[in-house]
A and B are shown apart, each in its own frame.
Chain A
Amino acid sequence: MNKTLKLNKEEENRYLNILNETLSAEYGSALEMLAACKLSEKDTFAYGYFQHSKDEYNHSKTFYSILGKYGRKFGEEISRKYRFNTNSLIAKGYLSREGYLIETMKLKDFIAYVYTNELLARDSFEGILKLFKKNSNERDQISQIMSDELRHHGLAEQHFLKYYPKLQPWQLMIYRFRESVKNKGRKFYDKNLKFLDKILTPLYYSLAFIAGKIIYLIDLDQFQREGKNLMDIKSKSII
């Protein structure tokens, strides 16, 4: 981390959050590419996705180790919140509840998505790079990841133009523009969601209080099972 910066708790939180989110994004990409590999119809496609997935796994490993390094430095109280858990990838939106992209998109759209997002990822690493001092290991590692992302972007472009020759490079530009807008929209939504969350929390808690009062009135003891044959309880009952 940049030694010229003196970090307060809020900044430490922000740094660990960025590292955790980036790790989640990289791990999510690794899983997306692995799924694409398994569902490929051609072994040449599978090979490409396999290599891509391996790179993304390695990137996540790098971010995991950086997160660990700064997690140790910043102390238990803050670090505890930023433990990496693969189960949170869906909740955080890095993976869709509907399934992997390759399962829900057309192949053409999927390749265009990869093309665009590798570039967007590279751009966001520019920002992360600024967190670390010059000549640090972390900067070197992230620079390597950035060049990998650029390579993936180039490979996706080649692949796209080879298999969809009727589409022109400018059409890829449209994909890129669309994804950039979506990405900015996501960031805007996220930022405002957090803001809204702060404003609405008292309302949520008031509703929780009312709902809690109602639920409290439900006599769940009447559904106790002691002495009953569990095989005879109605199988359509959800309580």
Chain B
Amino acid sequence: MYLGLSGYNHESAAALVNNDAKLIDYCREESLSRIKGDKSFPKRSIRKIIENNKLNISEIKAVVFYERPLSSFLHPIKTATLYFPKSAPLISHQLRNFKKSSIGCFLDLASIFPGLEKKLIYLDHHLSHTLNALPYSNNQKNICSVVVDGFGDRSTSSISQVNNPYDIREIWTCKYPVSLGLLYSAITDFLGFQVNEGEYKVMGLAAFGNKKSQLAKKVSSLLNFDIVTKRFEQDMSFFSYHISPNDSFSEKLITLLGKPRNPFESLSTENKDFQKYADIAAGAQSLVINNLRMLFEYAYSLTNTTTFLFSGGVAMNSASLDSIASLPFVEKLIVPPSPGDAGSAIGAAYYGFLKNSVKTVKFLPKPDLFPSQYNYENQLKTAKKILDKDFKILTNNINEALKIAANLISKGEVIGTLIGNIEIGPRALGHRSLICDGKNAKAVNYLNSVIKNRSPFRPTAPCMNLETAKKYYDLRGELMESYKSMGATCSCKVGSGSSNFPTSHIDETARLQIIEDNSFLDKLFRELKEFDIEILANSSLNASGDPTCYDLIDVLMLSARHPLRYIITDFGLLESKFFGHI
């Protein structure tokens, strides 16, 4: 068994790969701690994985950390020294927080799971991203891996040639502090959203902006891929993330773009500054797309391969994938369902497997979309009184529950789902979802604004089977794998009417999910046929600011705090008695 870990910088997680290279368990720390984007040492995830799988420490052959901690610690300080004395606060902050950095992983393991620290090994951060993406490719030989994130342990983006799982050669890198990911985060901050959390809001907002506006052009010129030097060029004087522990952009950016958005101001189309901020977001989005296209063109020129792995935090920018996939040389673009740092724990676990196997493994098997083990039965006893007093079990027969749920959806109701294991990535794929009729604007609006309390400019994703998707959307063969995990957007088919669906964004795109055969959603769609419902709106089972629900008590709490009336579970359909009293 091989345990992969990520943490300390962004979302922390733990993953377990067995001796047959199969991902058998995975857990994000935020699921258990209930702290969104929890980056602390993943002690709860490790404990849960050990308990779920009844592991002895002796059975774990290697514990693999997703980066090289000293490198990750030294690079930002070394860069900051070039900007002294302006950078003194950052250097001082880094040094004072030495113990809280990822260097502490060894000591944390030793104190909480004694014995495991002796098995601790490390790999390069971008390699952990590559190995997270690799199992999703049908071809694992002679392909190219592009990794783009904020900062790993030595670079901010890289291109590698994957000759086979044992031979992965890095052929180009972009050095810190020049960073596509950190620039996008700085714009996220400028727009009043939380760094490392609000980037997807910028992506949603961008669709409302005009990328040809003056503001957008100013933003999109902040970083460029120079085709002569083959480097990203970024004027660092607009940014502060490399010299300050608190600020990500400088006064110069404020002079360029005007006043940053007050994070407490509501952001809706009626807002007087809405267009200004949407244009800035459009500029940032356009910058990302243009530079990624150039990076992929360069990657192609270096590797001459047509299958690309794409991972790192920037690969979560689902709106950029369609454009990259449209490049003439791209035949396959593989983005793992969890391309960020949480997912790189999976890559780390695969590394442990590969390092301990004789070099005969030619292929890493594709992981399941729902690997994070959860069994509700353990919690039924604890939750008995909550269920008895505050919830009504409408049926405890799952087939009947599906029929009733279908009927409720046809009447415009929103249903929460708590089915089996939790999703591998940040997107809800049916097991921890809020779902409703995807063509019913009132229901979608209720789900988005009332239950989730989300900003109205953010769209809700649609899900459907492949046949329906082909009818309404322009799908790309290069991205088929990503559609299964809601990882990429696609355009609405002209004349199909889909641009008017409430799940379509203002720019006539949708981040759709194509469901898998025999999945829970597939079974529900069979029941929905009777009501002519072919598209469901599907959003993660949480309220704004909270992590996605993990267990039974989380979902009961969500329903107690927000007007979510119905929940379908493995043990039947529940109705909340809180409904109408919130």
B51 beta carbon closer than 8 Å to chain A: no
Tally of A interface residues using CB under 8 Å: 62
Q: Given A209-B84, A226-B170, A239-B68, verify A46-B124 contact (CB < 8 Å).
A: no
A216 beta carbon closer than 8 Å to chain B: yes
B38 beta carbon closer than 8 Å to chain A: yes
Report how far A118 CA is from B40 CA in the complex, Å.
27
B272 beta carbon closer than 8 Å to chain A: no
Whether B264 lies near A228 (C-beta < 8 A) is: no
Whether B103 lies near A80 (C-beta < 8 A) is: no
Of the stretches A51-59, A146-154, A179-187, the one at the interface is A51-59
- For residue A211, which residues in chain B have a CB less than 8 angstroms away from its CB? 77, 91, 95
Looking at A86, A230, A237, the one whose CB has the most chain B CB atoms below 10 A away is A230
Whether A76 lies near B259 (C-beta < 8 A) is: yes
A208 beta carbon closer than 8 Å to chain B: yes
Of the stretches A1-9, A30-38, A121-129, the one at the interface is A30-38
Whether B194 lies near A83 (C-beta < 8 A) is: yes
Of the stretches A108-116, A135-143, A162-170, A217-225, the one at the interface is A217-225
Tally the A-B contacts, defined by beta carbons under 8 Å.
Answer: 188
Residues 180-239 of A contacting B (Cβ, < 8 Å):
201, 204-205, 207-209, 211-213, 215-216, 218, 220, 223-231, 233, 235-239
Q: Given A228-B170, A238-B103, verify A75-B561 contact (CB < 8 Å).
A: no
Whether B74 lies near A239 (C-beta < 8 A) is: yes
Report how far A57 CA is from B556 CA in the complex, Å.
13
Q: Which of A71, A208, A227 contacts B262 (CB 8 A)?
A: A71
A50 beta carbon closer than 8 Å to chain B: yes
B70 beta carbon closer than 8 Å to chain A: yes
- For residue B526, which residues in chain A have a CB less than 8 angstroms away from its CB? none
B154 beta carbon closer than 8 Å to chain A: yes
Q: Which of A68, A80, A201, A227 contacts B260 (CB 8 A)?
A: A80
B171 beta carbon closer than 8 Å to chain A: yes
B294 beta carbon closer than 8 Å to chain A: no
Whether A235 lies near B166 (C-beta < 8 A) is: no
Whether A57 lies near B561 (C-beta < 8 A) is: yes
Q: Which of A69, A75, A208 contacts B92 (CB 8 A)?
A: A208
Report how far A45 CA is from B354 CA in the complex, Å.
47
B252 beta carbon closer than 8 Å to chain A: no
**In the complex, what's the smallest C-beta–C-beta distance from B267 to chain A, in angstroms?**
12
A134 beta carbon closer than 8 Å to chain B: no
B553 beta carbon closer than 8 Å to chain A: yes
Whether B78 lies near A220 (C-beta < 8 A) is: yes
Residues 168-217 of B contacting A (Cβ, < 8 Å):
168-173, 192, 194, 197
Q: Which of B69, B262, B379 contacts A76 (CB 8 A)?
A: B262
Tally of B interface residues using CB under 8 Å: 79
- For residue B89, which residues in chain A have a CB less than 8 angstroms away from its CB? 205
Q: Given A209-B85, A216-B81, verify A239-B261 contact (CB < 8 Å).
A: no
Bitwise, B383-394 to A at CB < 8 A (1) or not (0) is 111100100000
Whether A87 lies near B35 (C-beta < 8 A) is: yes
A102 beta carbon closer than 8 Å to chain B: no
B34 beta carbon closer than 8 Å to chain A: yes
- In the complex formed, the residue of A with least CB distance to B260 is A76
B54 beta carbon closer than 8 Å to chain A: no
A-B contact pairs, 22 of them (CB 8 A): A54-B557, A54-B560, A57-B561, A58-B561, A71-B264, A75-B262, A76-B262, A79-B262, A86-B545, A87-B35, A87-B36, A95-B35, A99-B44, A208-B92, A212-B87, A226-B171, A226-B172, A228-B169, A229-B168, A233-B124, A238-B68, A239-B68
Q: Residues on B close to A: CB < 8 A?
A: 33-40, 43-44, 64, 68-71, 74-75, 77-78, 80-82, 84-85, 87-89, 91-92, 95-96, 103, 121-124, 126-127, 130, 154, 160, 165-173, 192, 194, 197, 259-265, 351, 354-355, 379, 381-386, 389, 545, 551, 553-554, 556-557, 560-561
